[in-house]
Amino acid sequence: DDAPEPSEDETTAAPQPVTATDVKVNVSIPDAAGRASETGADGVGLLRMEHMVLNLGKTPSKYVGDHGERAYIDRIVEGVQEVAEEFYPRPVRVRTLDAPTDEFCNLEGGDDEPKEHNPMLGYRGIRRALDEPDIFELELRAFRKLYELGYDNVEIMLPLVNDADQTAEARNLMERAGLDTDEITWGVMVETPASAMVVEDIADEGVDFVSFGTNDLTQYTLAADRNNENVSDIYDETHPGVLALMSRVIDVCDERDVRTSICGQAGSNPEMVEFLVEEGITSVSANIDAVADVRRRVARVEKRLMLDHARRKE
Ligand code: PEP
Ligand code: MG
């Protein structure tokens, strides 16, 4: 037959260890689905929607009403489908839109966007979705279509949530858009200190999972802009203040059977991974290039924990 010869790399690569903690992969662009899948990841821990939507060339508000809702919905459906198909039946966690206002400025309609001094602290993520339910609804209709097409491996993740009220409001909008939140798998990102401190209330709203967005959680906890070189030495994802928040969230969620995950950059950092596996996180999600290393690190930590337990060293 004409199957391609395995490459040198494939024949010599060590088999990946089996881990109890899921090791997933982050995907920012649907075109990367194939490469992401080849890592052998247990799913996609974060599929960003920004690339799909911003590439349309117009701001989302330009699609509402008679202005081509179908095109907007179809773009999201096609983008997610590319990844969900590649990974099926492995789960694909899709995050609803989280673009700061300055990222829209070069698009058609960008002049109508609010001008903000500090877009990272501004009108983005769930706060904007709740304030503009007509636009959010287009995203939710895309999810409904994906479920109708049979992609039951798609999960919905809400960005920049602060509290239970926002979670409940988003859940109501999902229900109103025809999504059964008892049936689907959905959850929120923990990327503000507030969400970490009230995660028990968020859990009570029926989320299936929470996922640490450490890029934002770090900048908001340490008051250090993640894009400002002048404070890059302050910006430390492994700062004890950041770790304490994460530890608290894992404990609370563990008691309530809410799954925990990480999808920020720090999920590719072996020290962070070690800390989180010891704390009992359910899954970690890493960049495509880091998945194999993270998997090996997770396996090593799990083995040590098991041996320690067996030898009653705990
Ligand atoms: C994060 O904040 O860690 C995250 C994954 O989201 P983004 O980088 O898109 O803000
Ligand atoms: Mg974030």
- Which tens digits make up the pLDDT trace of 126-155? 999 999 999 999 999 999 999 999 999 999
50 and 103 in contact (C-beta within 8 Å)? Answer: yes
Percentage of the chain beyond pLDDT 90 is 92
Closest listed ligand to the CA of 263: 1
279 alpha carbon to ligand 2 midpoint, in Å?
A: 22
pLDDT at 2: 54
312 alpha carbon to ligand 1 midpoint, in Å?
A: 39
Q: 30 in ligand 1 pocket by Cβ < 6 Å?
A: no
Q: 237 in ligand 1 pocket by Cβ < 6 Å?
A: no
- Work out which ligand 1 atom sits closest to the CA atom of 46: 5
Summarize pLDDT for 90-114 with one digit per residue, the tens. Answer: 999 999 999 999 999 999 999 999 9
264 alpha carbon to ligand 1 midpoint, in Å?
A: 5
Summarize pLDDT for 30-41 with one digit per residue, the tens. Answer: 999 999 999 999
3-state secondary structure labels for all residues of the chain: CCCCCCCHHHHHCCCCCCCCCEEEEEECCHHHHHHHHHCCCCCEEEECCHHHHHCCCECHHHHCCCCCHHHHHHHHHHHHHHHHHHHCCCCEEEECCCCCHHHHCCCECHHHCCCCCCHHHCCCHHHHHHHCHHHHHHHHHHHHHHHHCCCCCEEEEECCCCCHHHHHHHHHHHHHCCCCCCCCCEEEEECCHHHHHCHHHHHHCCCCEEEECHHHHHHHHHCCCCCCHHHCCCCCCCCHHHHHHHHHHHHHHHHCCCEEEECCHHHHCHHHHHHHHHHCCCEEEECHHHHHHHHHHHHHHHHHHHHHHHCCCC
Q: Across residues 180-208, what is the average pLDDT? A: 98
Confidence of residue 11 (pLDDT cuts 50, 70, 90): very low
144 alpha carbon to ligand 2 midpoint, in Å?
A: 24
pLDDT at 187: 98
Q: b/e map of 19-30 (b: 16 or more CB within 10 Å)?
A: bebbbbbbbebb
> Probe ligand 1: pick from 29, 53, 215, max atoms within 8 Å of CB?
215
Summarize pLDDT for 221-266 with one digit per residue, the tens. Answer: 999 999 999 999 999 999 999 999 999 999 999 999 999 999 999 9
Cα–Cα dist 184/177, whole Å: 13
pLDDT at 165: 98
pLDDT at 312: 82
> Probe ligand 1: pick from 27, 103, 189, 219, max atoms within 8 Å of CB?
189
Cα–Cα dist 85/75, whole Å: 15
pLDDT at 160: 98
3-state secondary structure labels for all residues of 292-310: HHHHHHHHHHHHHHHHHHH
102 alpha carbon to ligand 1 midpoint, in Å?
A: 16
216 alpha carbon to ligand 2 midpoint, in Å?
A: 5
pLDDT at 15: 78
Q: 213 in ligand 1 pocket by Cβ < 6 Å?
A: yes
Closest listed ligand to the CA of 218: 1
| pLDDT, averaged across the chain | 94
Percentage of the chain beyond pLDDT 70 is 95
pTM of the model: 0.94
Cα–Cα dist 205/202, whole Å: 5
As beta bridge partners, residue 187 has 157, 209
As given in the structure block, the two tokens for residue 217 are 């959680």
